[in-house]
């Protein structure tokens, strides 16, 4: 930059000295967009960031957590997939927050600060067609490990339907980290519930039974959206709905009674949502191994369109990467999660559904850290850990939600390793029954 230009820029600065970032001019809009959806009264963030006073009080932590990229929570590496509702700050924004804090977290002219955003009260998509509420309060103890609790709610659905949107409303947003909504038409979840003394039953990986379908997932700050026109989730009459909620203790005993709103498809459905899993069951991680690599792959037998990807590991998870390799060799990134954060599991919804031709190979790589350096290692000293759905076992799994134009295309697919693709198979048999 020429000296002349520098001099000119300087002249633009206030007479009092170099321009310092202020809340009103530089910071409020970043917080409003990227933090306030969770950091406001009644939401999951442990404090509010809706005013200058609150932001100033937290300025050093704001600078620290954004620099570390632990806030806003989002584990997908930029440039590997483009997702709806991605929670990411640019390097420039992180720089602004840091400079603001270092310069004393100045207010600027608060009269000109952008106001806190308005959020829709109540159901985001209007009154649902069906509301299901947990039958009783779940007690979350003050301390201890996070838990996945599965609450079984009979739907009472009298005829088969397709679902276009789902909204999850936490009863107590402070303790609910994320939720998945499964369907069960085999009464298996009811049996698990009956065998567990608490409300619902505990699990760690999957819901502990083979779901007959899924209505989707929810994480804090997420916005509820309709599936594309013509795409629906199959909801079989008489199914039970199983809410799998990830609860996080807050230091105080808490209660939660969450509910879901179900919206039936408004337009005729020509494509059902199904699931494909790419998974490696052969997991045996030696104690102390900080970089345990597993791979898995699955070749698509038919043309499919991918809607979302949900990586899944447990407490030793470190990193997971999935990609599609098209028959012509083109590589398309699906998702890369690094570092894996067990507490912020996410269903990553692709901004543009990805069409993949038959013969495309889905490849999965995962890394686990079973060393003493991993702060979430459940064992101290580390122990050998093997495959399983328990909290001290591990998994290496990525679930993709897919659609096809021809329901029968989803039938009879076999995983590369000869194992039947369990989730897919179940959804397909339902889809087939529907057609008959």
User: Residue 134 or 175: which CB sits closer to ligand HEC?
Assistant: 175
Nearest to 181 by CA among 134, 121, 249: 134
User: Residue 52 or 235: which CB sits closer to ligand HEC?
Assistant: 52
User: Residue 67 or 106: which CB sits closer to ligand HEC?
Assistant: 67
Q: How far apart are CA 343 and CA 53, in angstroms?
A: 29
249 makes contact with ligand HEC (CB under 6 A):
no
Contact, 428 vs 411, CB < 8 A? Answer: yes
Size of the site for ligand HEC (CB under 6 A): 23
CA atoms within 13 A on the CB side of 116: 16
Query: What is the residue whose two structure tokens read 């954060």?
Result: 341
70 makes contact with ligand HEC (CB under 6 A):
yes
Q: Is the peptide bond before 339 cis (omega within 30 degrees of 0)?
A: yes
φ, ψ for residue 305 (rounded to 5)? -120, 125
Q: How far apart are the first and last CA of the chain?
A: 72
User: Residue 36 or 132: which CB sits closer to ligand HEC?
Assistant: 36
User: Residue 343 or 433: which CB sits closer to ligand HEC?
Assistant: 343
User: Residue 35 or 105: which CB sits closer to ligand HEC?
Assistant: 35
Mark the segment that binds ligand HEC (CB under 6 A) among 65-73, 119-127, 210-218, 257-265: 65-73
DSSP, residue by residue, 304-330: EEEEEEEEE--TTEEEEEEEEE-TTS-
User: Residue 17 or 144: which CB sits closer to ligand HEC?
Assistant: 144
Q: Is 107 helix (H, G, I), strand (E, B) or coil?
A: coil
Q: Of residues 305-344, which lie at the interface with ligand HEC (CB under 6 A)? A: 343
φ, ψ for residue 235 (rounded to 5)? -125, 105
59 makes contact with ligand HEC (CB under 6 A):
no
44 makes contact with ligand HEC (CB under 6 A):
yes
Q: How far apart are CA 119 and CA 7, in angstroms?
A: 44
Q: How far apart are CA 356 and CA 258, in angstroms?
A: 37
Mark the segment that binds ligand HEC (CB under 6 A) among 8-16, 55-63, 204-212, 406-414: 55-63
Which of 20, 24, 27, 62 is close enough to bind ligand HEC by CB under 6 A?
62
Which of 20, 22, 39, 172 is close enough to bind ligand HEC by CB under 6 A?
39
Q: How far apart are CA 168 and CA 261, in angstroms?
A: 6
CB of 401 to ligand HEC, least distance (A): 21
φ, ψ for residue 114 (rounded to 5)? -60, 135
Copy the structure tokens of residue 390: 């328990």
Mark the segment that binds ligand HEC (CB under 6 A) among 32-40, 135-143, 278-286, 393-401: 32-40
Which of 65, 224, 257, 374 is close enough to bind ligand HEC by CB under 6 A?
65
Binding pattern for the stretch 76-105 against ligand HEC, x by CB under 6 A and - elsewhere: -----------x-x----------------
DSSP state of 31: H
Mark the segment that binds ligand HEC (CB under 6 A) among 54-62, 204-212, 234-242, 290-298: 54-62
CB of 333 to ligand HEC, least distance (A): 23
Alpha helices in 250-399 (DSSP H): none
CB of 121 to ligand HEC, least distance (A): 18
Q: Is 32 helix (H, G, I), strand (E, B) or coil?
A: helix
DSSP, residue by residue, 89-106: --HHHHHHHHHHHHTT--
DSSP, residue by residue, 239-265: PEEEEEEEE---SS-EEE--EEEEEE-
38 makes contact with ligand HEC (CB under 6 A):
yes
Which of 21, 45, 232, 353 is close enough to bind ligand HEC by CB under 6 A?
45
Q: How far apart are CA 36 and CA 16, in angstroms?
A: 32
21 makes contact with ligand HEC (CB under 6 A):
no
Which of 61, 110, 131, 358 is close enough to bind ligand HEC by CB under 6 A?
61
37 makes contact with ligand HEC (CB under 6 A):
yes
58 makes contact with ligand HEC (CB under 6 A):
yes
Q: How far apart are CA 311 and CA 389, in angstroms?
A: 15
Q: Of residues 210-239, which lie at the interface with ligand HEC (CB under 6 A)? A: 220-221
CB of 178 to ligand HEC, least distance (A): 10
Per CB under 6 A, residues contacting ligand HEC are 34-35, 37-39, 44-46, 58, 61-62, 65-66, 70-73, 87, 89, 220-221, 248, 343
């Amino acid at each position: 930059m020429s000296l002349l230009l520098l001099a000119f820029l300087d002249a633009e600065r206030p007479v009092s000295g170099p321009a310092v970032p202020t809340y009103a001019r530089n910071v409020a809009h970043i917080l409003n967009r990227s933090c306030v959806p969770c950091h406001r009264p009644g939401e999951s963030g442990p404090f509010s960031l809706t005013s200058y006073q609150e932001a100033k009080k937290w300025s050093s932590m704001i600078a620290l957590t954004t620099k570390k990229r632990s806030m806003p929570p989002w584990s997908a590496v930029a440039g590997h997939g483009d997702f709806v509702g991605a929670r990411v700050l640019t390097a420039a924004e992180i720089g602004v927050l840091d400079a603001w804090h270092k310069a004393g977290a100045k207010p600027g002219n608060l009269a000109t600060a952008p106001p806190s955003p308005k959020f829709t009260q109540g159901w985001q998509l209007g009154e649902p067609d069906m509301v299901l509420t947990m039958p009783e309060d779940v007690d979350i103890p003050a301390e201890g490990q996070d838990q996945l609790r599965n609450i079984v709610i009979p739907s009472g659905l009298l005829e088969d339907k397709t679902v276009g949107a789902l909204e999850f409303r936490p009863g107590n947003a402070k303790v609910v980290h994320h939720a998945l909504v499964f369907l069960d038409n085999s009464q298996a979840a009811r049996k698990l519930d009956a065998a567990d003394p608490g409300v619902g039953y505990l699990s760690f990986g999957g819901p502990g039974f083979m779901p007959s379908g899924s209505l989707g997932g929810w994480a804090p700050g997420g916005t509820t959206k309709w599936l594309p026109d013509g795409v629906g989730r199959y909801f079989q009459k008489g199914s039970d709905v199983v809410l799998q909620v990830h609860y996080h203790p807050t230091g105080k005993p808490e209660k939660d009674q969450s509910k879901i709103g179900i919206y039936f498809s408004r337009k005729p459905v020509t494509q059902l949502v199904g699931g494909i899993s790419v998974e490696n069951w052969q997991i045996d991680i030696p104690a102390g191994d900080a970089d345990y690599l597993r791979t898995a792959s699955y070749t698509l037998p038919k043309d499919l369109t991918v809607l979302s990807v949900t990586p899944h590991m447990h407490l030793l998870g470190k990193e997971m990467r999935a990609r599609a390799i098209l028959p012509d060799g083109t590589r398309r990134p699906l998702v890369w999660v690094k570092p894996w954060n067990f507490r912020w599991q996410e269903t990553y919804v692709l901004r543009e559904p990805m069409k993949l031709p038959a013969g495309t190979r889905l490849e999965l790589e995962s890394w686990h850290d079973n060393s003493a350096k991993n702060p979430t290692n459940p064992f101290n000293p580390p122990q050998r850990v093997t495959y399983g759905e328990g909290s001290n076992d591990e998994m290496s799994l990525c679930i993709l939600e897919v659609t096809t134009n021809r329901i029968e295309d989803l039938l009879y697919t076999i995983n590369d390793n000869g194992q039947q693709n369990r989730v897919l198979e179940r959804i397909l048999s339902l889809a087939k029954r529907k057609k008959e």
